[in-house]
């Protein structure tokens, strides 16, 4: 008889614990995907931009200003956190709707042909 009374209590405690564990796991996996990339190094990029073709990096930068709107892409200048480097990146229109200048972003960038820097995804930090 005692087991019948404790079973609902145990279930009531385990359900929230399981939900929290799943939520933490999802947050960890999202951060792991982004943080699994090597940090973008502007000095290394400047040595041989075309040699990095196809590579992906994590870029932490502040949006400086929009330079051009090409329809499919917006070309914006970004500054590195130390403000030592300033350069242009291409952000696809699908993710560039709510860009805020002077806002800091974590961006997954890809080096394209000719050394162009394309943003694949971004989030504020």
What one-character-per-residue DSSP string does 46-75 give?
Answer: HH-GGGGTT-EEEEEEEEEEEEEE-SSEEE
Per residue in 2-36, pLDDT (tens digit) is: 566 778 888 888 998 988 888 887 776 655 545 57
Residue whose tokens read 């087991």: 3
- Give the predicted TM-score (pTM) of the model: 0.70
Neighbouring CB atoms inside 10 A of 72's CB total: 10
Per residue in 69-119, pLDDT (tens digit) is: 998 999 999 999 888 889 999 999 888 768 888 999 999 999 998 899 999
pLDDT of amino acid 34 = 53
- The domain spans of the chain are 1-36, 42-124
Contact 57, 19 (CB under 8 A): no
User: Residue 112 belongs to what H/E stretch?
Assistant: none
Question: From CA 116, how far away is CA 68, in angstroms rounded?
Answer: 15
pLDDT of amino acid 22 = 87
State the DSSP code for 71: S
State the DSSP code for 123: E
Q: Within a 13 Å sphere around the CA of 102, how many CA atoms are in the beta-carbon half?
A: 0
User: Residue 17 belongs to what H/E stretch?
Assistant: helix 2-35
Q: Which residue has the higher pLDDT, 114 or 1?
A: 114
CATH superfamily membership of 42-124: Nucleic acid-binding proteins (2.40.50.140)
pLDDT of amino acid 74 = 94
């Amino acid at each position: 008889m005692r087991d019948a009374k404790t079973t609902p209590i145990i279930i009531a405690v385990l359900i929230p614990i399981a939900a929290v564990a799943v939520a933490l796991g999802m947050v960890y996996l999202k951060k792991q995907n982004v943080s699994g990339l090597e940090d973008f190094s502007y000095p290394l990029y400047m040595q041989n931009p075309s040699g990095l073709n196809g590579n992906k990096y994590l870029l932490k930068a502040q949006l400086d200003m929009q330079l051009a709107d090409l329809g499919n892409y917006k070309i914006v200048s970004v500054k590195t956190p130390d403000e030592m480097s300033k350069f242009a990146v291409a952000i696809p229109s699908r993710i560039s709707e709510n860009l805020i200048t002077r806002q800091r972003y974590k961006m997954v960038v890809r080096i394209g042909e000719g050394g162009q820097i394309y943003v694949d995804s971004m989030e504020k930090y």
